[in-house]
Structure 1
Amino acid sequence: MLNQKFKCGLEAALAVLSGKWKPLVLFHLAHEVHRYGELKRAIGSVSDKVLIQQLKELQQDGVVERTDYGEIPPRVEYALTCFGDSLARALAPLCQWGERHTEQIENIVHNREKPQSARQ
């Protein structure tokens, strides 16, 4: 899409955040620089293929920087750029909201996972 015009700021933010794991990558990198394995362990059940793809997209978008130290064994670190840090700070209130409502959200997710007949 050339000359993309967004209808609102949320649409623009979601263009960068699209992807299930990107907000979690931002969350973890907002606290410290991570090597790939550390980041994967911190996030949890993401596959290597998906995490690598999402990290590449975040790099292309200028949110994450990748530093390859050219060592053997390989040492690569991921960190937020200034742009990425500003996005991570914008997500902080959403994290706080999630923490305040964790129990209610767990119930919502649990109810979603029930078979349709058991919900009624």
Structure 2
Amino acid sequence: MSKEKHINNTPHCTARISAIKDAMEILSGKWKFHILGTLIEGGKMRFMDLLREVDGIAAKMLSKELQDMEMNHLITRTVLNTKPVTVEYEITEYGKTLSPIIDEIAKWGAAYRNSLYNTK
């Protein structure tokens, strides 16, 4: 006798699952939340400043993540007419809508870390 799976195929459920999939596709990866959180807290930042702030990220990976987030309208990239050329990154208004989510993830992470240390 096989177990039947209950799958909710309502339009609401399907739309919700699609929305979660879209969000995870845009925000997935080890570094995006760290970069976004840094830009939310730090305002406009140059590439090398971000590289220093995001501990452990390689320059090539930072560049790729910044390109992805710019393409998804979470950050803006501004090239300044300086010698040498300076590039600044800044979170967009749309990107700032992630701030409460990042705050909640940080709270959850702190609580989780606390629970690990308090159970031993």
TM-score (norm 2): 0.75
Task: Tell me the equivalent position of 1:42.
Answer: 53
CA RMSD after TM alignment: 2.1
Shift of 1:90: 2.0
1:91–1:50 Cα change, 3 Å: same
Check 1:105–1:78 CA distance in 2 against 1; reply closer, same or farther (3 A cut). Answer: farther
Q: How many residues align?
A: 103
C-alpha displacement at 1:13, in angstroms?
Answer: 1.6
Aligned to 1:102: 113
In structure 2, the gaps of 5 or more residues are: 1-14
How far apart, CA to CA, are the structure 1 residues paired with 2:95 and 2:73?
7
Runs of 4+ in structure 1 deviating by more than 6 angstroms, as ranges, are none
Q: CA deviation at 1:104?
A: 4.4
Q: Deviations over 1:18-40 (max 9, x none)?
A: 22111111110111221111111
Identity of aligned residues (%): 25
**Which is greater in Rg?**
2
Select 1:14's aligned residue among 24, 27, 46: 24
Contact persistence 1:6–1:12 (CA under 8 A)? no
Question: What are the superposed Cα offsets for residues 45-83 of structure 1, whole Å, 9 maximum, x if unpaired?
Answer: 111111100100100010110111121122211111111
